[in-house]
Amino acid sequence: MSTRTVLHEADIARALTRIAHEILESNKGPDDLVILGIPTRGVELATRIAELVTRFGGRPVAVGALDVTMYRDDLHRNPTRTPRPTQIPGEGIDDKVVVLVDDVLFSGRTIRAALDAIKDIGRPRAVRLASLIDRGHRDLPIRPDFVGKNLPSARDERVNVRLAEVDGIEEVTIES
């Protein structure tokens, strides 16, 4: 098995800065934004993006976490991980622009589950998707609005996002 690093710490920071600027531009400012990360690493990425959007937009934006474990349609094939708490900002998501943040977009199944989870929480005006890595191979017609890096990969390769808050290191690698 070989592993190669495709993004280093500075590359990740640059990608998140670009995503934050694109979110602000798309939304015409920080008003009515709610940024929700999908555990595990999506939550850390959402927190970083929210901090950047706050800095560049001049006003704080709401940030939270959306666990989708029990909404997945592939639980029978994949081992279930321990659900994490869903944390929705106090003002909720009704009539807000929700930006879902995930670390790697692959089949689209996690995002489909996130959309199902959102409809149980409220009714946003719009839902957007930000992903640090888009590796293709969709099973569902889902595509991100904001992408850190498009990373074509083979189905049998594994893309690993490691973040300092969770892993003690900042990198994105591909294992083949």
- In a domain, residue 29? The reply is yes
Q: Express each pLDDT in 152-170 by its tens digit.
A: 899 999 999 999 999 999 9
Q: Which of 127, 126, 92 is nearest to 111 (CA)?
A: 127
- In a domain, residue 129? The reply is yes
Helix (H) or strand (E) holding 114: helix 109-121
- In a domain, residue 170? The reply is yes
Domain residue limits at 146? 3-70+84-175
Total count of domains within the chain: 1
- In a domain, residue 76? The reply is no
8 A C-beta contact, residue 133 and residue 172: yes
- In a domain, residue 77? The reply is no
Paired residues of 160 in beta bridges = 173
**Residue 148 sits in a domain of what CATH number?**
3.40.50.2020
Q: Express each pLDDT in 68-110 by its tens digit.
A: 988 887 666 666 667 788 999 999 999 999 999 999 999 999 9
